[in-house]
Structure 1
Amino acid sequence: MEIRCHRISGGKATGPALVTEEPISFLGTVDPETGEVVDPGHQLFGKAVAGKVLIFPGGKGSTVGSYVIYQLKKRGIAPAAMINIRSEPIVAVGAIISGIPLVDGVDAGILATRDGTILMVDADREVIRVDEP
């Protein structure tokens, strides 16, 4: 199955889905040293974002969140790609400076994707391919 989307940050990546219905503030929610979600109040608490296609509604919080995304990439523990319902500048800038594919403009139904589902995000072609089990 293919899903049309809107490119925010170009590139192509494949990986297992990691999904949350909650916005993510990379500053304070994701540990830049480990890539693990450390906010005990977040739906993804205790999970690592490294190599995942991270699906979340959008970002929130401090502009420093862009730099946290960049730190994750430099340490090799960043998401392979990110999918938002509606991206905002903090996540967009972080993805762009880090070279992480980021797309938005998808239906909120994407949030029903099961963790571990293999997704290919081709931001340049503005398409998400879902490998159904």
Structure 2
Amino acid sequence: MVVTGEILIPGEDASGECLALTAPISFWGGVDPRTGMIIDARHPERDRNIAGIVLALPGTIGSSSASAVLLELVHAGKAPAAILMDAPDAILLLGLVVAREMGWKTPPALRLPAAAQAALAGRKLLVSSDGTITTE
């Protein structure tokens, strides 16, 4: 299967298993920035780790601190390998922009509709720098 996402934040090719969340998440209070563990007690994917995987977000629950949490994940080496978003979240993506400005390796972020994300759940993916997403 091959799909193409719209590049929101460019990055190098990335690969990993796709964790397609089944509910929106708040990074602030929902993800531990030191470990990448989903810690929101009410989230269906609680206790899953987002480090080094392709994280598919059907939506986000806003907090102006989400960018700081994603920045901390990048700095700690616990960020996702790539991020797929149903809709761009400028505040969350700001964390990647700042990480790039700091000279840290950042995951690419692409826009991909939630229905297409769900079809990728659990599959090993290659996310190319041109926005092509291929199942391996």
Q: Check whether TM > 0.5.
A: yes
| Structure 2: distance between partners of 1:96 and 1:81 | 14
* 1:42 matched residue in structure 2: 43
Question: Could you report, residue by residue, the CA deviation over 1:71-114 in whole angstroms, capped at 9, with x for unpaired residues?
Answer: 01111111111001112112221233332200004352322333
TM-score w.r.t. the length of structure 1 is 0.88
Structure 2: give runs of 5+ residues left out of the alignment.
100-105
| Alpha-carbon distance change, 130 to 71 in structure 1, aligned in 2, over 3 angstroms | same
Aligned residue for 2:113, secondary structure, equals: coil
Q: 1:37 corresponds to which letter in structure 2? A: I
* 1:67 matched residue in structure 2: 68
| Structure 2: distance between partners of 1:107 and 1:82 | 12
Are 2:125 and 1:119 equivalent residues in the alignment? yes
Indicate the percent of aligned positions where both proteins have the same amino acid.
Answer: 32
Aligned residue for 2:28, secondary structure, equals: helix
In the TM superposition, structure 1's runs of 4+ consecutive aligned residues that sit over 6 Å from their partners are: none
TM-score w.r.t. the length of structure 2 is 0.86
Structure 1: give runs of 5+ residues left out of the alignment.
none
Conserved 8 A contact 2:22-2:45 = no
In the alignment of these two chains, the number of paired residues is: 129
* 1:6 matched residue in structure 2: 6
| Alpha-carbon distance change, 72 to 125 in structure 1, aligned in 2, over 3 angstroms | same
